C-alpha cells in the first residue's frame, strides 16, 4: 500500500510540471551559458566515418582548439587522426594566426564595428532558431531519468502542426521529433536526442538527409560556472547531388575547458 502511494505521488508531481515552461527555462539558461562560453578555450575532437554498401570507405579524425579572437570564434587545428601536427602543419596553422593578427591590426574602427555587427547578427539568428523550439513543438512529460549523476525530467517533443516559421531555417524543426532531459534542480538541459521524421533537404536539394537520421547532445558542468557540450553524435544516410548515397557517423567530443584571454599567448595544446 505504501509503495502504491509513493508511485501515485510521483505521478502527480510529474503531471504538475509544465513541460513547455521547463523547456523555455532551459533555453534561457543555455543562452546565458552561450555568453559565458566565449570566455573559454577548449578542444573539439571530431571523428567521422563514411560507409558505402556496408563497407567503411573513409575515416577522419581532427582535433581543433576553439577560442575567441578579436571578438569571434577561432578554430586552430592541433591534431589529425590522433597524432600531433607535423612541424610543417603546425607552422601553417601559426601562419594563419599571424595573418589574422596582421589583418585585424589594419582594421579601422568602422571596419571592426561592421565585422562584429555581422557576427552579432548571425548569433541573433542562431538564438532565434532555438527560441522557436517552444512554438514548434508540443511537449509531454515522459518520466524521469538520471543523466551524469543528476536527476532529470524526460520530456518528449513532437512537431506542432500549427507552427509558422518566422525564418527559413526554422522550417527544419518540423522534420524532427525530440526528447529533452532537463535537470530537476535548475532546469538545465543535460541531454537532447532528435530523430528525423521525414527527408530533410539542404542547399536547393543538392544534399538530402534520409528519414531516421539521429542527433544527440550531452552537456557537462564546467568550472562550476556554466554548462558546455561534452559529446555530440550524428548518424545519418544521405544523398549528395541526389546521386551518391552514403552513411555517415560523426562523434564530436569536447574537453580541456579553460578560461582564455585574447591577450594571452597561444600555446601548443596536447590532445586528450
Report the C-alpha gap between 58 and 263 in whole angstroms.
39
Q: What per-residue confidence (pLDDT) applies to 51?
A: 76
CB 233, CB 216: distance < 8 Å: yes
**Nearby residues of 88 by Cβ (< 8 Å), 6 or more positions away:** none
Contacts of 69 (CB under 8 A, 6+ apart): 97, 100, 262
**Residue 244 pLDDT:** 65
Q: Decide if pLDDT at 264 tops 60.
A: no
Condensed to tens digits (0 to 9), the pLDDT of residues 57-73 reads 778 999 999 999 999 99
Which triple of cell numbers denotes residue 170? 526554422
CA torsion sign for 256, 258, 261, 265 is negative
Task: Give the pLDDT confidence of 168-187 residue by residue, as tens digits.
Answer: 889 899 999 999 999 999 99
Q: How far apart are CA 174 and CA 183, in angstroms?
A: 25
How confident is the model at residue 7, as a pLDDT?
A: 39
* pLDDT at site 202: 66
For the chain, what percent of residues have pLDDT higher than 90?
65
Selected residue with higher pLDDT from 47 and 244: 47
* pTM attached to this predicted model: 0.83
Find the range with the poorest average confidence among 8-12, 93-97, 168-172.
8-12
Please state, in angstroms and rounded to a whole number, the distance separating the CA atoms of residues 210 and 240: 11
pLDDT in tens, 182-237: 999 999 999 999 999 988 876 555 567 788 889 999 999 999 999 999 999 998 87
pLDDT at residue 210, rounded to an integer: 82
Cα pseudo-dihedral 119, 122, 128, 131, rounded to 10 = -70
Checking if the pLDDT of 3 tops 50, the result is no
Give the integer Cα–Cα distance in Å for 130 and 134.
8
163 grid coordinates: 507552427
Residue 10 has pLDDT above 90, yes or no: no
| Backbone dihedral angles phi then psi of residue 150, each to the nearest 5 degrees | -115, 140
Residue 267 main-chain phi, psi, to 5 deg: -105, 160
Angle CA(195)–CA(119)–CA(233) in degrees, nearest 5?
A: 25
Query: Which of 159, 189, 192 shows the shortest CA–CA distance to 173?
Result: 159
Distances (CA, A) of 196 to 149, 173, 203, 214: 29, 9, 17, 7
Spatial contact of 68 and 264, defined as CB atoms under 8 Å apart: no
Amino acid at each position: 500500500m505504501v509503495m502504491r502511494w509513493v508511485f501515485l505521488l510521483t505521478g502527480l508531481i510529474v503531471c504538475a510540471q509544465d513541460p513547455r515552461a521547463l523547456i523555455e527555462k532551459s533555453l534561457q539558461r543555455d543562452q546565458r551559458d552561450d555568453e559565458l562560453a566565449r570566455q573559454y578555450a577548449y578542444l573539439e575532437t571530431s571523428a567521422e566515418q563514411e560507409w558505402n554498401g556496408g563497407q567503411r570507405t573513409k575515416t577522419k579524425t581532427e582535433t581543433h582548439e576553439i577560442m575567441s579572437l578579436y571578438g569571434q570564434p577561432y578554430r586552430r587545428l592541433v591534431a589529425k587522426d590522433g597524432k600531433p601536427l607535423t612541424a610543417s602543419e603546425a607552422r601553417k596553422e601559426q601562419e594563419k594566426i599571424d595573418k589574422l593578427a596582421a589583418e585585424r591590426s589594419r582594421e579601422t574602427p568602422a571596419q571592426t564595428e561592421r565585422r562584429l555587427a555581422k557576427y552579432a547578427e548571425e548569433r541573433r539568428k542562431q538564438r532565434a532558431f532555438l527560441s522557436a523550439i517552444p512554438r514548434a513543438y508540443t511537449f509531454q512529460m515522459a518520466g524521469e531519468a538520471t543523466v551524469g549523476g543528476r536527476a532529470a525530467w524526460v520530456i518528449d517533443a513532437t512537431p506542432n502542426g500549427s507552427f509558422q516559421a518566422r525564418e527559413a531555417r526554422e522550417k527544419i524543426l518540423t522534420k524532427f521529433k525530440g526528447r529533452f532531459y532537463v535537470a530537476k534542480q535548475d532546469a538545465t538541459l543535460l541531454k537532447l536526442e532528435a530523430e528525423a521524421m521525414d527527408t530533410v533537404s539542404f542547399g536547393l536539394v543538392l544534399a538530402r538527409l534520409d528519414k531516421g537520421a539521429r542527433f544527440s547532445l550531452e552537456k557537462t558542468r564546467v568550472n562550476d560556472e556554466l554548462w558546455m557540450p561534452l559529446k555530440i553524435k550524428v548518424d545519418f544516410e544521405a544523398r549528395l547531388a541526389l546521386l551518391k548515397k552514403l552513411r555517415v557517423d560523426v562523434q564530436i567530443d569536447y574537453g580541456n575547458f579553460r578560461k582564455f584571454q585574447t591577450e594571452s599567448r597561444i600555446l601548443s595544446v596536447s590532445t586528450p
